[in-house]
Amino acid sequence: MQLHEKEAPVHTNGFEFGWRDVRGEHRKALCAAVSVPIEDGRPVRGFPSYRGQRHFPGLYWSATTGGHVGFESWLERDHVMLLDFTPEVTGLLSQPFWLFWENERGKRVSHAPDYFARFEDGRGLVVDCRPLDRIDARSAARFEATLTACTSVGWGYRVVGEVDVVRMSNVRWLAGYRHPRHGVAEGLIERLLALFSVPSPLVGQAALAGDPIAVLPVVFHLLWQGRLSAELSKPQTDTTLVSRVEGR
């Protein structure tokens, strides 16, 4: 992910903020956003679907929210999966709000970022997904304005592009075991956490807890949860070293 940071002080003057929740649609000055639980809201717009479209919209089931989160492309799907995979993320919403402002020519502009994530320490993160080689001048200006708006209310902001192929392949595999049904055997979980208290080969160590066919899905679930860890920048094999993450 590419993180955009802005150190100079900025102000919310000129920005307006629109969001949706169970009570309907709302629009206020941006400063009101700090008190809105955005992750509990509803998407401010839907995803069009039509014959011949070049993108691939869909719904991703999130282990973080227990519900579906929308995406408009496979790139967005990958990044919502990565957010879902981040243990510190506690809330997640697609198309979370509208930003409204005037550009330097006095023209009204609006932008709905792709995702909002809430972290367990209360931080907010706004994400836009775009292949970095396809950011034109118009998009760059909108992203810069979004950065200014997010910084002014204390949120992080990222414009993200393609993810490392190997890492993403590994995360997709683990996502197949994200559902809580893979984590119901508390006795087995405690045994696995003990077995992997020191870095150990994936399959060989898992086999010490029972039939790998039954045990490995639980290991993958614990890797998804961040209670176990492995090097995901390399292709996973039977001998991949897995270890317990202390404090989780």
pLDDT tens digits, 158-191? 999 999 999 999 999 999 999 999 999 999 999 9
d(CA 7, CA 54) in angstroms, rounded, equals 37
- Please report which confidence band the pLDDT of residue 6 belongs to, taking 50, 70 and 90 as the band edges: very low
Half-sphere exposure of 129 (CA within 13 A, CB side): 22
d(CA 80, CA 93) in angstroms, rounded, equals 9
What domains can you pick out in the chain, each with its CATH number? 3-160 (3.40.1350.10), 165-244 (no CATH)
pTM beyond 0.85: yes
d(CA 47, CA 202) in angstroms, rounded, equals 40
Q: Determine the 3-state secondary structure of 66 from DSSP.
A: coil
pLDDT tens digits, 210-248? 999 999 999 999 999 999 999 999 999 999 999 999 877
pLDDT the model gives residue 105: 82
Per the DSSP assignment, residues forming a β-bridge with 102 are 108
Q: Determine whether 23 is exposed, middle or buried from the number of CB atoms within 10 Å of its CB (0-12, 13-18, 19+).
A: exposed
